[in-house]
């Protein structure tokens, strides 16, 4: 680790206020260096964090955190904030198990106002905090820092609407880098580009910036004139400014890499009595040329060793995300009705190739998951076959849209949930553990969990032939190897045996749902070492389940263990157990999933072990059940004998 002169000594943001402008420049450089080193080593959000170094310094110099509440939208850009709020040492452990979170976390620091990870919540949260503080007669200020991408999310717009109505002194910093993860999309984005790029307006902006810089500390009357001047400028070009029309004061665009200028503006708005939007322009990836040139590629960065591993991997060992991308492109070639939709996650959901090959049939609708789902319902009404790709965790946003707009009218929309199950690195907010419990009981839903490229292709073919709502879920994992048993076509409601040994004396079955199949396989291998044989059945279907067929299978075994990559309570295993109970099927059946608690950051492997779902834990659990089963059998036998 490099030797830094200023950063390690900063234990509290208040100390920032004593630094000279030369020292602030050195500090910015040290922060960037530390972020680059750490993110390369541990993985994390590179470009977004490099873009807000000066903005964060200016905020912490102007406001008094934690008395003043700074709320970061998404929170993926909070690294400088963490470094300036006493977490210099901990930063080395960024995203590691038991280490510092890559997102704001209340339990980590009083400076972290919200636990975040999902977009577009900051304005609502900051407004709530502000009103709450006022009710307690506190003079705390509330500042929401939101990116131009996150501003496209419906919740942010709902909050702007209400904040404009309340007219409290909420401060919104609009961090505009003209990017979401990829290029930002939508009318809002073009609107902001117009705000920042019109020649005349740029001229006016330069004039105002200059005016601001020569006034040492401009008073309210001068500020008022600046507003008037700016409104005048906008009046000529735009007639109306969205923010001013919603009831906000608007200042901007200002250079988000000039600490002094930002501070002057922040100092002035501090005591305003109405809501204000400060439009700050930043460069995503600032200070790291490769990230500046490819901000999208450097949005989320994998640790360097993982990259090497990935490069050396064989092409048949692809991730399920890539399998989906390949399978959808293939399906789209033969089926012109297929259209693909993503909510700002083109690359993350494997749709990059589709977007290049079929630009007219591809829609990145911005960070707007509920809209993405209902928009797809509209497309389906016209005979299109929409495939909407959204991470499992972000689909939590669109539960009502699935039920109300797709399932009730029984529209053929396929929701494809990537990053389902245990998700590494990002912690509680990014786990994909609830989709099975949220959606499996939606009437008419077909819900599949493919584990190989060939299963993915079957799933997509089935989806495009199905007339009603459809869901596909898979993890961030590699595909399971293409073994013959998994190449069998799909039969409604049924799975397939990965391993079946008819000669075993004592019959044990492991039913696996999703990517835990590889752990089921390890478990069976470990059991063999102990001379216990277990068959493995890949469930494939979450809904519908051919329950009579499943009963028939389970009836052949002395013990069946069901394993799912999702929360146990409300999961499929629990539902199957209930069905057995209802039908007086006294099978010896156990089901395992993730526990009823939020799971923090760790590698996927570590998370699997934590939940007792790895091969070895499963093996131990099965042996334990067998033991207690024998014991119970003996007790039952004794009781029966004594009753006779």
* Alpha-carbon span 71 to 152, nearest angstrom: 17
Fill in the per-residue mask, 33 to 52: x = in contact with ligand TPP (CB under 6 A), - = not in contact: ---------------x--x-
Which of 80-88, 141-149, 377-385, 589-597 is the region at the interface with ligand TPP (rule: CB under 6 A)?
A: 141-149
Q: Pick between residue 39 and residue 74 the one whose CB is nearest to ligand TPP.
A: 74
Q: Pick between residue 391 and residue 541 the one whose CB is nearest to ligand TPP.
A: 391
- Tokens read off for 492: 């409604």
Q: Pick between residue 348 and residue 495 the one whose CB is nearest to ligand TPP.
A: 348
Select from 266, 362, 394, 592 the one that contacts ligand TPP (CB under 6 A).
394
| In the complex, minimum distance from the CB of residue 152 to ligand TPP, in angstroms, rounded to a whole number | 8
Q: Pick between residue 119 and residue 463 the one whose CB is nearest to ligand TPP.
A: 119
| Contact between 450 and ligand TPP per CB under 6 A | no
* Alpha-carbon span 493 to 440, nearest angstrom: 13
Select from 367, 433, 563, 618 the one that contacts ligand TPP (CB under 6 A).
367
* Alpha-carbon span 501 to 606, nearest angstrom: 31
Q: Pick between residue 474 and residue 537 the one whose CB is nearest to ligand TPP.
A: 474
- Tokens read off for 124: 């609502």
- Taking CB positions, which residue lies at the least distance from ligand TPP? 147
| In the complex, minimum distance from the CB of residue 27 to ligand TPP, in angstroms, rounded to a whole number | 21
| Contact between 195 and ligand TPP per CB under 6 A | no
509: helix, coil or strand?
Answer: strand
What is the per-residue burial (b if ≥16 Cβ within 10 Å, else e) of 528-561? eeeebbbbbbbbbbbbebebeebeebbeebebbb
Q: Pick between residue 77 and residue 85 the one whose CB is nearest to ligand TPP.
A: 77
Residue position matching structure tokens 């890539």:
322
Helices 21-42 & 259-269, crossing angle to 10 degrees? 100
Which of 284, 440, 499, 568 is catalytic? The answer is 284
| In the complex, minimum distance from the CB of residue 255 to ligand TPP, in angstroms, rounded to a whole number | 16
Select from 60, 141, 279, 284 the one that contacts ligand TPP (CB under 6 A).
284
Q: Pick between residue 395 and residue 456 the one whose CB is nearest to ligand TPP.
A: 395
* Alpha-carbon span 559 to 179, nearest angstrom: 53
Catalytic site includes residue 369: yes
| Contact between 149 and ligand TPP per CB under 6 A | yes
* Alpha-carbon span 492 to 190, nearest angstrom: 46
Fill in the per-residue mask, 214 to 243: x = in contact with ligand TPP (CB under 6 A), - = not in contact: ------------------------------
- Tokens read off for 553: 């299978």
Instruction: List beta partners, residue 391.
Output: 418
Instruction: List beta partners, residue 340.
Output: 362, 387
- What are the residue ranges of helices labelled H in 495-536? 517-529
Counting other chains too, the contacts that 133-142 makes at CB distance below 8 Å and 24 or more residues apart are 133/69, 134/168, 140/67, 140/68, 140/69, 141/63, 141/68, 141/69, 141/169, 141/171, 141/270, 142/68, 142/69, 142/71, 142/170, 142/171
| In the complex, minimum distance from the CB of residue 1 to ligand TPP, in angstroms, rounded to a whole number | 26
Catalytic site includes residue 284: yes
Which of 60-68, 162-170, 171-179, 558-566 is the region at the interface with ligand TPP (rule: CB under 6 A)?
A: 171-179
Nearest residue to 321 (alpha-carbon basis) of 373, 389, 421, 386: 389
Nearest residue to 510 (alpha-carbon basis) of 529, 483, 487, 533: 533
Q: Pick between residue 28 and residue 560 the one whose CB is nearest to ligand TPP.
A: 28
Judge contact between 322 and 351, C-beta under 8 A. no
| Adjacency order of strands within the sheet including 541-543 | 362-364, 338-342, 385-391, 414-418, 470-473, 446-448, 541-543
- Tokens read off for 381: 């009404």
Q: Pick between residue 149 and residue 421 the one whose CB is nearest to ligand TPP.
A: 149
Which of 145-153, 247-255, 374-382, 507-515 is the region at the interface with ligand TPP (rule: CB under 6 A)?
A: 145-153
Fill in the per-residue mask, 114 to 133: x = in contact with ligand TPP (CB under 6 A), - = not in contact: ----xx--------------
Catalytic site includes residue 17: no
| In the complex, minimum distance from the CB of residue 354 to ligand TPP, in angstroms, rounded to a whole number | 18
* Alpha-carbon span 336 to 349, nearest angstrom: 21
Select from 28, 77, 355, 392 the one that contacts ligand TPP (CB under 6 A).
77
What is the per-residue burial (b if ≥16 Cβ within 10 Å, else e) of 295-310? bbbbbbbbbeeeeeee
| In the complex, minimum distance from the CB of residue 380 to ligand TPP, in angstroms, rounded to a whole number | 22
| Contact between 344 and ligand TPP per CB under 6 A | yes
Select from 148, 435, 521, 535 the one that contacts ligand TPP (CB under 6 A).
148
Judge contact between 65 and 447, C-beta under 8 A. no
| Contact between 180 and ligand TPP per CB under 6 A | yes
Number of residues that bind ligand TPP (CB under 6 A): 23
Contact residues toward ligand TPP (CB under 6 A) are 48, 51, 74, 76-77, 118-119, 147-150, 175, 177, 179-181, 284, 343-344, 367, 369, 394, 397
Enzyme catalytic residues? 284, 369, 397
């Amino acid at each position: 680790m490099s030797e830094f002169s200023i950063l390690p000594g900063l234990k509290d943001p208040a100390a920032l206020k004593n630094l000279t402008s030369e020292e602030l420049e050195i500090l910015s450089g040290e922060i960037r260096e530390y972020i680059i080193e750490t993110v390369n080593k541990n993985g994390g959000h590179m470009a977004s964090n490099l873009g807000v170094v000066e903005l964060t310094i200016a905020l912490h110099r102007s406001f008094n955190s934690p008395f003043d509440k700074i709320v970061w939208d998404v929170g993926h850009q909070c690294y400088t904030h963490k470094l300036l709020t006493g977490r210099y040492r901990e930063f080395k452990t960024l995203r590691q198990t038991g280490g510092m979170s890559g997102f704001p976390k209340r339990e980590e620091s009083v400076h972290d106002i919200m636990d975040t990870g999902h977009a577009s919540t900051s304005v609502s949260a900051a407004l709530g905090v502000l009103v709450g503080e006022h009710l307690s007669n506190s003079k705390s200020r509330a500042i929401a820092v939101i990116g131009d991408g996150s501003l496209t999310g419906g919740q942010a717009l709902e909050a702007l609407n209400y904040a404009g109505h309340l007219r409290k002194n909420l401060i919104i910093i609009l961090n505009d880098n003209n990017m979401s993860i990829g290029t930002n999309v939508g009318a809002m984005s073009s609107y902001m580009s117009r705000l920042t790029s019109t020649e005349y307006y740029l001229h006016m902006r330069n004039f105002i910036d200059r005016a601001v810089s020569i006034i040492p500390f401009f008073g309210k009357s001068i500020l008022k004139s600046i507003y008037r001047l700016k409104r005048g400028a906008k009046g000529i070009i735009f007639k109306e400014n969205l923010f001013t029309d919603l009831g906000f004061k608007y200042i901007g665009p200002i250079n988000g890499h000039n600490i002094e200028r930002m501070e002057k503006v922040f100092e002035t708005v501090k005591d305003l009595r109405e809501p204000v939007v400060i439009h700050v322009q930043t460069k995503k990836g600032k200070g790291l040329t490769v990230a500046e040139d490819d901000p999208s590629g450097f949005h989320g960065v994998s640790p360097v060793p993982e990259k090497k591993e990935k490069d050396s991997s064989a092409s048949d060992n692809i991730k399920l995300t890539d399998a989906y991308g390949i399978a959808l492109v293939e399906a789209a070639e033969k089926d012109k009705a297929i259209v693909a939709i993503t909510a700002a996650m083109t690359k993350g959901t494997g749709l990059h190739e589709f977007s290049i090959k079929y630009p007219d049939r591809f829609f990145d609708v911005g960070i707007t998951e509920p809209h993405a789902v209902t928009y797809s319902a509209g497309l389906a009404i016209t005979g299109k076959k929409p495939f909407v790709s959204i991470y499992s965790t972000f689909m939590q946003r669109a539960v009502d849209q699935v039920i109300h707009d797709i399932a009730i009218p029984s529209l053929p929309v396929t929701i494809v949930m990537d990053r389902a199950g245990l998700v590494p690195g990002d912690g509680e907010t990014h786990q994909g553990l609830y989709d099975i419990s949220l959606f499996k009981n939606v009437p008419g839903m077909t819900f599949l969990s493919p584990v190989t490229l060939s299963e993915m292709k079957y799933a997509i073919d089935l989806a495009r032939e199905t007339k009603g709502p459809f869901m596909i879920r898979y993890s961030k994992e590699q595909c399971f190897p293409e073994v013959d048993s998994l190449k069998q076509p799909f039969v409604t409601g049924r799975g397939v045996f990965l391993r079946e040994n008819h000669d075993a004396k004592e019959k044990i079955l492991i039913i696996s749902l999703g990517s835990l199949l590889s752990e089921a396989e390890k478990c069976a291998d470990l059991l063999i070492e102990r001379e216990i044989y277990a068959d493995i059945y890949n469930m494939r279907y979450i809904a519908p389940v051919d329950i009579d067929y499943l009963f028939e299978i389970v009836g052949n075994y002395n013990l069946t263990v069901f394993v799912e990559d999702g929360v146990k309570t409300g999961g499929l295993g629990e539902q199957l157990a209930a069905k057995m109970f209802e039908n007086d099927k006294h099978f010896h059946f156990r089901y395992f999933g993730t526990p009823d608690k939020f799971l923090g950051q760790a590698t996927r492997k570590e998370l699997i072990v934590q939940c007792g779902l790895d091969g070895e834990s499963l093996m131990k659990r099965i042996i334990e059940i067998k033991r207690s089963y024998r014991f119970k059998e003996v007790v039952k036998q004794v009781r029966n004998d004594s009753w006779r």
